[in-house]
Amino acid sequence: DSEAASRMRYYTNPRGLYPFQGNLTAYCVLRPNNLAVVDPGLGKTHLALAASSIMIEDGLIDHALFVVEKNKLEEFQEDFARFTSFDLNTFYGPKRVLRPSHVTLSTYSTLRDSLVTANPADDRILTLTDEAHWFRGKRLLVVCDEAAIFGGSRTSKVYRAFQAAL
């Protein structure tokens, strides 16, 4: 609820959360392996920021990974700066260092190309890259914005890369 949201340390919003956003946030926090599907324009970003804040503050997760489309990266960086005090690490791909932080923000294409590598003999066999091993052993919340990107085909490289990484 709005009162609980006002006690969050990492997420702040002068308007607070609307009651339905507070309910969805609680649902996401209290239900393991939850998938929140929300209509456009109803504040999915705030739901994700608030839920990850609570989960990190309460020690339920070690890290949050936000995955967005490339054209939304800057918008999410601005939202993190405006509404959170998270230590944000934007991951731009191989040869970039994943550093300790509360949250990693990256794009589908960057993670597709950085998390897994295909076996040259059989491109259906994927193995984790050194960058992906940074997440190993962590209790991780994965937030996928516009998850319809997975809906195309189970044989797409994006789908297979995320399936292997998860």
- Kindly report, residue by residue over 83-98, the tens digit of the pLDDT: 999 889 888 876 666 6
SS3 assignment, position 155:
coil
| Residues 150 and 159: beta-carbon distance below 8 Å | yes
| Residues 162 and 150: beta-carbon distance below 8 Å | yes
SS3 assignment, position 100:
coil
- Find tokens 């999410």 and name the residue: 76
Per residue in 125-155, pLDDT (tens digit) is 667 777 676 777 888 888 888 765 555 676 7
Please state the pTM of the whole predicted model.
Answer: 0.83
Query: Can you count the helices (H) and strands (E) in the chain?
Result: 7, 6
Phi, psi of 162 (to 5 degrees): -70, -35
